[in-house]
Amino acid sequence: MSETADAGRHRLFFALWPDEATRRGIAKLARAACERPVPTANLHMTLLFLGMQDDAALACFREAAGRVRAAPFDLTLDRLGGFARKRIRWLGCSAPPAALGKLVQALAEAVKVCGFEAEKRPFVPHITLSRKAKNPLGGEPGEVLSWTVREFVLAESEPTPDGVRYRVLDRWKL
Protein backbone atom coordinates (compact mmCIF):
# COMPACT_ATOMS: atom_id res chain seq x y z
CA MET A 1 0.00 0.00 0.00
CA SER A 2 1.32 3.51 -0.78
CA GLU A 3 1.84 6.15 1.93
CA THR A 4 -1.11 8.12 0.58
CA ALA A 5 -3.40 5.15 0.86
CA ASP A 6 -2.22 4.61 4.44
CA ALA A 7 -2.79 8.23 5.49
CA GLY A 8 -5.31 8.42 8.32
CA ARG A 9 -5.48 4.64 8.69
CA HIS A 10 -4.12 2.88 11.74
CA ARG A 11 -3.82 -0.77 12.76
CA LEU A 12 -4.67 -0.43 16.43
CA PHE A 13 -4.72 -2.52 19.58
CA PHE A 14 -4.92 -2.02 23.32
CA ALA A 15 -2.10 -3.75 25.14
CA LEU A 16 -0.02 -4.13 28.26
CA TRP A 17 3.45 -2.76 27.62
CA PRO A 18 6.21 -4.21 29.81
CA ASP A 19 8.42 -1.85 31.80
CA GLU A 20 12.12 -2.03 30.84
CA ALA A 21 13.16 -4.55 33.49
CA THR A 22 10.25 -6.87 32.69
CA ARG A 23 10.93 -6.46 28.97
CA ARG A 24 14.56 -7.49 29.46
CA GLY A 25 13.43 -10.51 31.49
CA ILE A 26 10.95 -11.61 28.82
CA ALA A 27 13.53 -11.10 26.06
CA LYS A 28 16.03 -13.29 27.92
CA LEU A 29 13.42 -15.98 28.31
CA ALA A 30 12.46 -15.68 24.62
CA ARG A 31 16.10 -16.17 23.58
CA ALA A 32 16.27 -19.30 25.71
CA ALA A 33 12.94 -20.72 24.48
CA CYS A 34 12.95 -19.77 20.77
CA GLU A 35 15.28 -19.92 17.81
CA ARG A 36 14.00 -16.68 16.27
CA PRO A 37 12.63 -14.46 19.02
CA VAL A 38 10.68 -11.31 18.06
CA PRO A 39 12.56 -8.02 18.58
CA THR A 40 12.73 -7.06 22.25
CA ALA A 41 11.00 -3.73 21.54
CA ASN A 42 7.96 -5.61 20.17
CA LEU A 43 7.17 -7.62 23.31
CA HIS A 44 3.67 -6.87 24.65
CA MET A 45 0.39 -8.46 25.65
CA THR A 46 -2.57 -7.54 23.45
CA LEU A 47 -5.78 -6.84 25.39
CA LEU A 48 -8.08 -5.95 22.52
CA PHE A 49 -7.27 -5.98 18.81
CA LEU A 50 -9.09 -3.15 17.00
CA GLY A 51 -7.80 -3.69 13.46
CA MET A 52 -7.56 -1.06 10.73
CA GLN A 53 -9.25 2.16 11.83
CA ASP A 54 -9.48 5.79 10.70
CA ASP A 55 -8.62 8.98 12.61
CA ALA A 56 -12.17 9.50 13.90
CA ALA A 57 -12.28 5.98 15.34
CA LEU A 58 -8.84 6.49 16.90
CA ALA A 59 -10.09 9.64 18.65
CA CYS A 60 -13.15 7.76 19.88
CA PHE A 61 -11.04 4.85 21.22
CA ARG A 62 -8.81 7.33 23.07
CA GLU A 63 -11.80 8.94 24.78
CA ALA A 64 -13.34 5.59 25.57
CA ALA A 65 -10.09 4.32 27.13
CA GLY A 66 -9.95 7.41 29.33
CA ARG A 67 -13.29 6.40 30.85
CA VAL A 68 -12.14 2.88 31.79
CA ARG A 69 -11.73 2.31 35.53
CA ALA A 70 -9.84 -0.88 36.38
CA ALA A 71 -7.55 -2.06 39.16
CA PRO A 72 -3.78 -2.68 38.87
CA PHE A 73 -2.64 -6.30 39.15
CA ASP A 74 0.35 -8.63 39.08
CA LEU A 75 0.95 -11.15 36.32
CA THR A 76 2.94 -14.31 36.97
CA LEU A 77 4.44 -15.29 33.63
CA ASP A 78 5.00 -18.99 34.16
CA ARG A 79 3.71 -20.76 31.09
CA LEU A 80 4.89 -21.30 27.53
CA GLY A 81 2.20 -21.96 24.97
CA GLY A 82 1.67 -22.09 21.26
CA PHE A 83 -0.82 -21.31 18.52
CA ALA A 84 0.13 -24.13 16.17
CA ARG A 85 -1.84 -22.86 13.17
CA LYS A 86 -0.25 -19.39 13.39
CA ARG A 87 3.11 -20.96 14.38
CA ILE A 88 3.36 -18.62 17.34
CA ARG A 89 5.21 -19.46 20.54
CA TRP A 90 4.12 -17.39 23.49
CA LEU A 91 4.55 -16.67 27.17
CA GLY A 92 1.53 -16.47 29.43
CA CYS A 93 0.10 -17.24 32.84
CA SER A 94 -1.15 -20.56 34.18
CA ALA A 95 -3.55 -18.59 36.41
CA PRO A 96 -4.43 -15.20 34.89
CA PRO A 97 -5.77 -12.84 37.59
CA ALA A 98 -9.47 -11.92 37.47
CA ALA A 99 -8.45 -8.24 37.21
CA LEU A 100 -6.89 -8.89 33.78
CA GLY A 101 -10.15 -10.34 32.44
CA LYS A 102 -12.05 -7.43 33.99
CA LEU A 103 -9.79 -4.91 32.24
CA VAL A 104 -10.33 -6.61 28.85
CA GLN A 105 -14.07 -6.68 29.51
CA ALA A 106 -14.12 -3.01 30.53
CA LEU A 107 -12.26 -2.04 27.34
CA ALA A 108 -14.58 -4.11 25.13
CA GLU A 109 -17.56 -2.46 26.83
CA ALA A 110 -16.06 1.06 26.55
CA VAL A 111 -15.37 0.88 22.79
CA LYS A 112 -18.94 -0.11 21.96
CA VAL A 113 -19.77 3.62 21.75
CA CYS A 114 -17.30 3.77 18.84
CA GLY A 115 -19.31 1.12 17.02
CA PHE A 116 -16.66 -1.53 17.74
CA GLU A 117 -17.89 -4.98 18.70
CA ALA A 118 -15.16 -7.18 20.20
CA GLU A 119 -14.88 -10.71 18.86
CA LYS A 120 -16.54 -13.39 20.93
CA ARG A 121 -13.51 -15.72 21.00
CA PRO A 122 -12.23 -16.30 24.51
CA PHE A 123 -9.30 -14.06 25.42
CA VAL A 124 -6.03 -16.01 25.65
CA PRO A 125 -3.54 -13.74 27.43
CA HIS A 126 -0.18 -14.14 25.73
CA ILE A 127 3.05 -12.38 24.85
CA THR A 128 4.26 -13.52 21.43
CA LEU A 129 7.88 -14.65 21.75
CA SER A 130 8.40 -16.06 18.28
CA ARG A 131 6.63 -16.19 14.92
CA LYS A 132 7.09 -18.87 12.27
CA ALA A 133 8.19 -20.99 15.20
CA LYS A 134 9.49 -24.47 14.39
CA ASN A 135 8.18 -25.75 17.66
CA PRO A 136 5.11 -23.76 18.72
CA LEU A 137 4.44 -25.96 21.74
CA GLY A 138 3.85 -25.39 25.41
CA GLY A 139 6.02 -26.06 28.39
CA GLU A 140 7.52 -24.31 31.32
CA PRO A 141 9.90 -21.39 30.94
CA GLY A 142 13.28 -21.73 32.66
CA GLU A 143 12.34 -18.85 34.90
CA VAL A 144 9.10 -17.41 36.30
CA LEU A 145 8.68 -13.67 35.83
CA SER A 146 6.51 -11.41 37.90
CA TRP A 147 5.11 -8.33 36.14
CA THR A 148 3.45 -5.57 38.11
CA VAL A 149 0.91 -4.02 35.74
CA ARG A 150 0.03 -0.41 36.48
CA GLU A 151 -1.09 0.87 33.07
CA PHE A 152 -2.42 -0.09 29.67
CA VAL A 153 -1.67 1.46 26.28
CA LEU A 154 -3.14 2.07 22.86
CA ALA A 155 -0.61 1.00 20.23
CA GLU A 156 -0.30 1.14 16.47
CA SER A 157 1.28 -1.53 14.33
CA GLU A 158 3.36 -0.23 11.43
CA PRO A 159 4.88 -2.36 8.70
CA THR A 160 8.51 -1.51 7.91
CA PRO A 161 10.96 -3.11 5.46
CA ASP A 162 12.54 -4.81 8.51
CA GLY A 163 9.28 -6.20 9.81
CA VAL A 164 6.48 -4.86 11.92
CA ARG A 165 7.12 -2.09 14.45
CA TYR A 166 4.79 -0.96 17.24
CA ARG A 167 4.25 2.60 18.40
CA VAL A 168 2.58 3.48 21.71
CA LEU A 169 0.09 6.26 21.04
CA ASP A 170 -1.28 6.77 24.54
CA ARG A 171 -1.15 5.36 28.08
CA TRP A 172 -3.66 5.16 30.94
CA LYS A 173 -3.02 4.40 34.60
CA LEU A 174 -4.88 1.57 36.29
SS3 category, 102: helix
Residues that bind ligand 2AM (CB under 6 A): 13, 46, 49, 88, 128, 157
Catalytic residue status for 10: no
φ/ψ bin of 14: left (φ > 0), alpha (ψ from -120 to 50), beta (otherwise): beta
Q: Which candidate in 44, 79, 89, 131 is catalytic?
A: 44
Catalytic status, residue 44: yes
CB of 68 to ligand 2AM, least distance (A): 19
- What is the number of helices (H) and of strands (E) in the chain? 4, 9
Q: How far is the CB of 128 from ligand 2AM (least distance, A)?
A: 3
Is the Cβ of residue 91 or residue 106 nearer to ligand 2AM in the bound state?
A: 91
Which of 11, 99, 113 shows the shortest CA–CA distance to 66? 113
- Which residues, 6+ apart, have CB-to-CB distance to 38 below 8 Å? 30, 128, 129, 130, 131
Looking at 10, 79, 89, 126, which residue is catalytic? 126
Nearer to ligand 2AM, 69 or 162 (CB): 162
Closer of 35 and 69 to ligand 2AM (Cβ):
35
Closest separation between CB of residue 161 and ligand 2AM, Å?
17
Q: Could you tell me if 102 and 71 are in contact, meaning their C-beta atoms sit under 8 angstroms apart?
A: yes
Q: Which residues are catalytic?
A: 44, 126
